[in-house]
Amino acid sequence: MNIEGIKNIITKGGLKFTHQRMVIYNAIAEAKNHPTAEHVFEQIKSDNPSISLGTVYKTLDTFVTAGIIQKFVDNKGVMRFDGILEAHSHLYCKKTNEISDYKNAELEALLTKFFDKNQIEDFDIDEISIVIKGQKL
């Protein structure tokens, strides 16, 4: 993604555009896996030697609050960040600990239909996600 595109996303989230936010957002957008704060830090450190790990944590959190990225917790309890905003499920490989995306419109439709019909008592659903654990072959 180009600088203008990133700037747009950040400012549309109601945030000031800064160099640090630019490189951090860029790292998330380019990552194919689901990076941790540490991953992002390692990724950008060589080109931005003065950046601080604390800033990475704080900025990622700011992005989550602004709704321009998502976060979730992995099996080990570590925060993972994700530039994809649409709902999608995750595959956890027990062998390699990799996390990959799984997206299937039919499944989403199935779940939506199911929970429309079967409301949960005294509970207002915001989002549903599926966690699939297994092994890569």
Partner DNA sequence: TTTCCCACTAAGAATGATTCTCATCAAAGA
Partner DNA sequence: TCTTTGATGAGAATCATTCTTAGTGGGAAA
Q: Where is the binding site for Fe cation, in residues?
A: 108
112 binding a second copy? (CB under 8 A) = no
Residues sharing a CB contact under 8 Å with residue 25, sequence separation 6 or more, in sequence order: 6, 9, 10, 63, 68, 69, 83
DSSP 93-115: ETTT--EEEE--HHHHHHHHHHH
User: Whole-number minimum distance, CB 33 to DNA, in Å?
Assistant: 14
135 binding a second copy? (CB under 8 A) = yes
The site that binds DNA (CB under 7 A) totals a number of residues, namely: 24
**Residues 73 to 102 in contact with DNA, rule: CB under 7 A:** 77-79
Q: Report the C-alpha gap between 100 and 34 in whole angstroms.
A: 8
Contacting positions for a second copy (CB under 8 A) = 73-79, 91, 93-94, 102, 104, 106-107, 110, 114, 118, 120, 122-137
